[in-house]
Amino acid sequence: MTIESSTDVTLIADLHINGRWVAGESGDRFPVIDPASGRSIASFAIASDADCTNAIEAASAVLPSWSSTPPRVRSELLTRTFQILKAEREALAEIIVRENGKAFSDALGEADYATEFFRWFAEEAVRVAGDFRLSPSGDKHILVTHQPIGVSLLITPWNFPAAMATRKIAPALAAGCTVVLKPARETPLTAAYVVDALRRAGAPDGVVNLVTPVPTGPAIARMLHHPAVRKVSFTGSTEVGRILLREAADNVVSASMELGGNAPFIVLPGADIEAAVQGALVAKMRNGGSACTAANRFYVHSSVSAAFTKAVTAELSRFQVGPGIDRENQLGALVSVGERDKVAELVDVAVSEGATVALGGESSAEGAFYSATVLTGVQHGGTITGTEIFGPVTAIVEYDDVDEAVRMANDTIYGLIAYVYGETGQALSVARRIDAGMVAVNRAVLSDPAAPFGGMKQSGLGREGSSEGILEFLEEKYIGIEL
Ligand code: NAD
């Protein structure tokens, strides 16, 4: 089956195996739902075990030729893909909106961010460094080179369906690996669009494959036990990450993990409140709050909390909520009614634990919408400060002592990202004390293909983007040369 986007680009809602779009062995399909309307917008092929094995074997068969393809040639494929997706950013954004529900401006931002990984890793493909030196005893030369790790299984979530895929595919291909992509069931169309862009850019057959097995868990477990698979790169929940680490252990498959977050947003006593409010709106509401980087817990100093809360509430009360496809809406639908109901339940629990709803707290009658919400009087240690909200809920905790704010910020199993607003010197010193892979000081957006993205503690293993991103798909090899 194919669906047409309004920008005249045909999207093929099938599996991609060995350079061809195929309906899959079983012929079974699952629906793709538009969360704004609750209606099915496409049907997508279900991959059987045989389809998944075929995808791995196609990736394995072409690995020797792709890994020995000159880096410049690999780089040029990524550059052409960058150019295609850049020219088609509106079409890509539209598909993201239709299956994910986010606001169009968020989808356009994601399309640009996602596309940029192809340009960044086109540049990195030709810059992989090695080393050559004399051993301390003078008996040999030590040559250190890098070799592609091999067939890589890439598993991505629904919240950034384009960027989470390109952040893995681009470095893998740049490194000389071949890939099998398994997108989230909610958002396979965006993944198919990205894979089709690579096909149109001239990716050799088998270099990029896409499968959508249902149910996912057993199929992925089998794939991780295929001897050709040497890498799993996963973005998703910590819970599923733990399962994959266990599965990967059997064949000692290299694992990169971008997992859940529980980002604190600390407003220090000397903060510029207007800047902190504007930052809070972005850190909280980008992607409707469905981001691993979304500010989850606001720790606001008691000297500024009244002003901060009043201004954030006023701004959010003006947020326009509705289908993401209508470009004036700032807050779209959550990805599904189920995800929306999880958010609503978290708010109910927070209220039962003593929080007050200062704004919002409402689910829509139709579609998976939840209103922009502000909770005040939240106590650290309650359910909502310990849970990744993944929705448009601003939970505000007041504090008196900066050391206590740092302690609360670090009081979590997660360590992905934190935000600190304050006078630069103090904010920097707080940033250094926070156990997170990324800290934003007086700014609300950190993601950048040129910067290392990743978490500490149970938020993950490894880094994506930057020059580190390609190393996740390379192995060091030491060759000793007799003198
Ligand atoms: P999820 O863990 O439920 O699913 C992610 C992917 O794993 C999907 O493709 C899903 O089909 C697959 N999956 C589910 N069960 C599996 C299993 N047993 N074995 C193998 N694969 C399985 O996550 P989600 O709900 O799609 O995404 C939200 C989560 O992703 C949040 O926790 C969020 O913080 C996290 N996330 C992290 C980052 C990051 O970079 N750290 C970025 C985006 C999202």
The CATH number that applies at residue 372 is 3.40.309.10
360 in a structural domain: yes
User: What does 248-292 look like in DSSP terms, one character per residue?
Assistant: HHHTT-EEEEE----EEEEE-TT--HHHHHHHHHHHHHGGGG-ST
Residues 200 and 78 grouped into a single domain = yes
Judgement on whether residues 77 and 52 belong to the same structural domain of the protein: yes
Which residue CA neighbors atom 21 of ligand 1 most closely? 217
- Provide the domain limits for residue 42: 2-259+459-481
Is 453 inside any structural domain?
A: no
Same domain, 191 and 278: no
pTM for this model (two decimals): 0.97
Do the beta carbons of residue 70 and residue 194 sit within 8 Å? no
User: Of 338, 320, 339, 340, nearest to 330 (Cα)?
Assistant: 320
Q: What is the pLDDT of residue 9?
A: 44
CATH number of the domain encompassing residue 44: 3.40.605.10
The reply to whether 97 falls in a domain is yes
Ligand 1 environment, Cβ below 6 A = 155-160, 164, 182-185, 216-217, 220, 235-237, 240, 243-244, 258-261, 292, 388, 416, 455, 460
For residue 325, being part of any structural domain is answered with yes
- Whether residue 361 sits in one domain with residue 247: no
Same-domain status, 241 and 366: no
433, 435, 436, 441: CA torsion to nearest 10: -10
292 is catalytic: yes
If 0-12 CB within 10 Å is exposed, 13-18 middle and 19+ buried, where does residue 478 land? exposed
Dist CA 342 CA 190 (whole Å)? 24
Catalytic residue among 99, 292, 339, 388: 292
- Same domain, residue pair 468 and 337: no
Tell me the angle at which helices 104-125 and 89-100 cross, rounded to the nearest 10 degrees.
Answer: 120
Q: Tell me what pLDDT residue 10 has.
A: 45
Do residue 309 and residue 231 come from a single domain? no
State in Å: Cα 158 to ligand 1 middle: 8
Give me the pLDDT at residue 13, please: 80
Ligand 1: which atom is nearest the Cα of residue 241? 2
Same-domain check for residues 434 and 330: yes
Question: Dihedral, CA atoms, 425, 430, 434, 439, nearest 10 degrees?
Answer: -40
One domain, residues 158 and 40: yes
Are 246 and 282 found together in one domain?
no
Ligand 1 atom closest to the CA of 157, numbered from 1? 26
Classify residue 295: in a domain, yes or no: yes
> Relative to the CA of 160, which ligand 1 atom is closest?
43
pLDDT number for residue 259? 98
| 319 plus 277 within the same structural domain | yes
Residue nearest to atom 16 of ligand 1 (CA): 217
Residues 220 and 288 occupy one common structural domain: no
390 alpha carbon – ligand 1 mean position (Å): 12
Overall number of domains in the chain: 2
- Is residue 160 in a domain? yes
Residue 18 lies in a domain: yes
Q: Which atom of ligand 1 is nearest to the CA of 247?
A: 19
Nearest CA to ligand 1 atom 20: 217
Q: Please indicate, yes or no, if residue 454 is contained in any of the structural domains.
A: no
pLDDT in tens, the chain (483 residues): 344 444 444 455 899 999 999 999 999 999 999 999 999 999 999 999 999 999 999 999 999 999 999 999 999 999 999 999 999 999 999 999 999 999 999 999 999 999 999 999 999 999 999 999 999 999 999 999 999 999 999 999 999 999 999 999 999 999 999 999 999 999 999 999 999 999 999 999 999 999 999 999 999 999 999 999 999 999 999 999 999 999 999 999 999 999 999 999 999 999 999 999 999 999 999 999 999 999 999 999 999 999 999 999 999 999 999 999 999 999 999 999 999 999 999 999 999 999 999 999 999 999 999 999 999 999 999 999 999 999 999 999 999 999 999 999 999 999 999 999 999 999 999 999 999 999 999 999 999 999 999 999 999 999 999 999 999 999 999 999 999
Question: Which atom of ligand 1 lies at the shortest distance from residue 155's CA?
Answer: 9
Q: From 211, 220, 229, 237, give the residue whose CB has the most ligand 1 atoms within 8 Å, as the site to mutate.
A: 237
Select from 292, 390, 412 the residue to mutate for testing ligand 1; criterion: most ligand atoms less than 8 Å from CB. Answer: 292
Ligand 1 center from residue 185 Cα (angstroms): 10
> Which of 99, 187, 216, 413 is the best mutation target for the ligand 1 pocket, counting ligand atoms within 8 Å of the beta carbon and taking the most?
216
